Amino acid sequence: MLCVRSIRPFVVRNIRVLRYSSIENPASEKPSTEVETDEFHAQSTEHRDKLIFDSILDSVLMRAENQSAKRKPHSVTSTVQALFDNPQEDPLDRAYGSILDKRTRDLETFAHDTPSDAILKNVQPVLEHISSLKTNKDVVYYHQSAVIRSFETVTPVQGQVVVDKTNAAYITKHIMAVLIDEFKDPVGALHIFNSIKAKSNDYFIAACSADVYNRIIALRWQYYRDIQSVVSLMNEMFINAVQGNNETVDLLGVITRQAIESSQNIPLAESLPLWSTKDDKLVKTLNSYRVKLMSSLAGRRDFALANLQN
């Protein structure tokens, strides 16, 4: 004969939709004949076990949600930030700082002046030769083997154009234009830029003008949509006393506008990475640089703002 044990009813109190609900031990409760609004009777051991399991699972899920909420928002640009934390891996944000003394400002004033006809005439053969090179590798090699070597040579070679502080910036700017515009080689342009900063202070001061920085800033945004790198480059310009120009102001205005539109889910011609609160702070920093630069250039006769709607 099959014996069936009588199932003693038990009461589970305070089981609610709210998380972290408590379950009282049924063994300590006496059978109740009254049913309150927040109580119900479970009629089987299986039902009781299910309630206990659901409560434990609910508590675990709540703990996981709390830990997730404490995490900082992840930005795609944080991957790039790792490059700046280690200057041995990528010297993009390497600054010379205080070693650039008054001569930097003197040279910067010179670099923004309109080049004389004599300088343009002297450097024209070099620019034409760079434009005639067949591949982007040839351009990079020419910069390493001829331009830098000529700048570092104490005794000029007869018949060759001397690369010095009067023309290094124009040659570098032309090299960037050829690599980016003609060969579509942003990696080669970045390689040239980093190799300049790895050389002597004198060469860096002479070659990395505001126009060269403008090229690299535009490159970082156009090809990589990397606002962290743009802010880092602007900080580098400020530390190294490389004052931007009208083109820098216009460029930062376009980048800031496109970044804000991206954060507001306004579609652009090219996609942007995921957005975070960190990116919002970077945009504000970038706009602060732009406002300061506008203020410093406002007294110049050639200062003018571009139409950012273009």
Query: How high is the pLDDT of residue 133?
Result: 96
Contact 275, 262 (CB under 8 A): yes
Q: Is the pLDDT of residue 181 over 90?
A: yes
Tell me what the mean pLDDT of segment 184-194 comes to. Answer: 96
What is the Cβ-side half-sphere exposure of residue 257, based on CA atoms within 13 angstroms?
11
Reading the block at residue 214, the tokens are 């403008």
Nearest of 249, 255, 293, 290 to residue 272 by alpha carbon = 255
Q: Is the pLDDT of residue 4 over 80?
A: no
Q: Is the pLDDT of residue 212 over 90?
A: yes
Contact 29, 10 (CB under 8 A): yes
* pLDDT tens-digit series, residues 35-46: 444 444 545 666
Nearest of 247, 231, 243 to residue 285 by alpha carbon = 231
Model's pTM, two decimal places? Answer: 0.61
pLDDT band at 162 (very low <50, low <70, confident <90, very high): confident
Helices (H), 71-184: 77-85, 102-111, 117-132, 136-142, 148-152, 168-177
| Nearest-angstrom CA–CA distance, 298 and 295 | 5
SS3 (DSSP) at 114: coil
For 162-220, give the DSSP string.
PP-TTTHHHHHHHHHHIIIIIS--HHHHHHHHHHHHHS-HHHHHHH--HHHHHHHHHHH
What is the Cβ-side half-sphere exposure of residue 104, based on CA atoms within 13 angstroms?
19
Q: Is the pLDDT of residue 168 over 90?
A: yes
Helix (H) or strand (E) holding 41: strand 39-42
Query: How high is the pLDDT of residue 173?
Result: 95
Contact 122, 227 (CB under 8 A): no
* pLDDT tens-digit series, residues 34-78: 444 444 454 566 666 666 766 666 665 665 555 544 444 444 343
Rg (CA), the chain: 33
Reading the block at residue 305, the tokens are 């703002």
Give the amino acid at 164.
Answer: D
Q: Is the pLDDT of residue 91 over 90?
A: no
Reading the block at residue 2, the tokens are 């099959």
* pLDDT tens-digit series, residues 259-303: 888 776 655 555 455 567 788 889 999 989 999 999 888 876 655
